[in-house]
Amino acid sequence: MVKRSLRPTSTTPVGLVASGAGFIAVTYGMVRYGYGLQLPQLTAELGLSPTAAGAIASGSFAAYCAAALWAQRSMARRSPRVALWFAAALAASGALLVGASWSTASLAVGVLVAGSAAGAASPALVAAVGSTVRGPSADRAQAVVNAGTGVGVALVGAATLAAPSVWRPVWFCAAAGALLTAVVVDRRARWPLGPEGAGDGARDPDAGTDAARTMLRPLVAAFVAGTGSAAVWTFGRSLVTDIGGLPERTTAALWCLLGAAAVLGALSGDAVRALGLRRAWVVTAAAAAVGTAALALAPGSVLVAAVAGALFGGAYTALSGVLIAWAGILRPLAAGRTTATLFVALTAGQAVGALAAGGLAGLAGAQSAFWAGAALLLVAASIRPAMPPCRHAAMPASRRPGVPPCRRRRSSAHRTRALRGGPLGSDR
């Protein structure tokens, strides 16, 4: 039964933001990126080769894309609440299977199922926060929830630091955490009565005939950024352990630092407001490239690895937060579904990148994969957001469903200021 829709407030509901960040911490930081963090232990116990490890990561990313596409279609027909529980079920069942895995095959299936959960989690939470929080605090709330990834990475890193060879309990705890945080999110969110954006008109006014052209640039940018980031998320810890020769406890501590720095991605909402969407995208993608290159340059230096990991973690999480803001600016009435589309592109890039990084590492060495990743992130930084055309100025008022003409004009001005970096508060 779908919850009764209530009028969104202008204040930030702490319970929803905290539980939403916790749900992202589990679905992203623990069950999706936890695989790469625990790869040395998994390799030692189950005998994974670099090619098999890359293939499993690639399969997990592909499963993420499938779940995100399902969530996108589902949210166009029914409440985003359905996507929330779909994500919770995937995370819990996949994590249980990984925790009980006895072979490479069982591990691969578990990682694939668990890793797909995040694909439905992000659009569901974007919609939950968007329907519950309005006003100046909305962007910040979205960014804080998205930064839960860093919390999850830090938790897995801390568990690995405390007990390097004990990885199964981490996955069992993740299964329980997915269900518990989903319960709190479900109770705290003011879910819409029907599909996302259904109350704003008969159809999404931002999904016109030129929607595909408008989405092309962010889709390409997200895909290239995902391809470039895959090396660190999948093989980052293996690089500093196997190539750099750093002790496993040291590398676990470094990944705790990476996760803690990723929490700074909560500032991405403020960064977009202060810098504008264009500059925020360039800064975050370029910073992720610098962090990736620094790991390749000196994987055996604790100081360099610490700074590089922290820089990458914070920049990547902020980058994904900028994508959420980009989706909201392009299609404000369907931000959750548009976020799903952009995150599919980001993760499809990671799927390609993980497979390519594993193959390149086997042919030319692990560091070459990181140099290639850094180069791709710089390419992504060069794909800056473009000014969206005003599609409503010439449209008769009778054909502008759900939004009065004055709101249309303000919305266009809001998009222009957001992209250029001007103040947004006057449009609220």
Give helix 80-99 / helix 50-75 axis angle, nearest 10°: 160
How far apart are alpha carbons 290 and 319 in whole angstroms? 14
b/e for 240-253, b at 16 or more Cβ within 10 A?
bbbbbebebebbbb
How far apart are alpha carbons 32 and 215 in whole angstroms? 26
How far apart are alpha carbons 293 and 371 in whole angstroms? 6
320, two tokens: 């994904």
User: 250, 155 in Cβ contact below 8 A?
Assistant: no
What local confidence, expressed as pLDDT, does residue 425 receive?
34
Contacts of 62 (CB under 8 A, 6+ apart): 348, 351
Quick one: how far is CA 110 from the chain centroid?
20
What local confidence, expressed as pLDDT, does residue 90 receive?
95
Distant-in-sequence contacts of 159-166, Cβ < 8 A, 24+ apart: 160/37, 160/38, 160/41, 160/248, 160/252, 160/255, 161/249, 161/252, 161/253, 161/256, 164/41, 164/248, 164/249, 164/252, 165/41
How far apart are alpha carbons 380 and 253 in whole angstroms? 29
Whether this model's pTM surpasses 0.85: no
Query: Which residues of the chain are under the pLDDT cut of 70?
Result: 1-12, 135-136, 193-194, 196-213, 268-269, 387-428
109, two tokens: 């299936």
Per-residue model confidence as pLDDT tens digits over 18-67? 999 999 999 988 888 788 778 778 888 887 877 788 788 778 878 888 89
How far apart are alpha carbons 342 and 347 in whole angstroms? 9
Quick one: how far is CA 281 from the chain centroid?
14
Per-residue model confidence as pLDDT tens digits over 124-174? 898 888 888 876 677 778 888 888 888 888 888 888 778 777 888 989 999
Closest alpha carbon to 318 in 380, 237, 385, 261: 261
What local confidence, expressed as pLDDT, does residue 212 receive?
59
Quick one: how far is CA 144 from the chain centroid?
12
Q: CB neighbours (10 Å) of residue 306?
A: 17
How far apart are alpha carbons 42 and 352 in whole angstroms? 22
How far apart are alpha carbons 285 and 378 in whole angstroms? 7
What local confidence, expressed as pLDDT, does residue 94 receive?
93
Q: What percent of the chain has pLDDT over 70?
A: 82
What local confidence, expressed as pLDDT, does residue 371 receive?
95
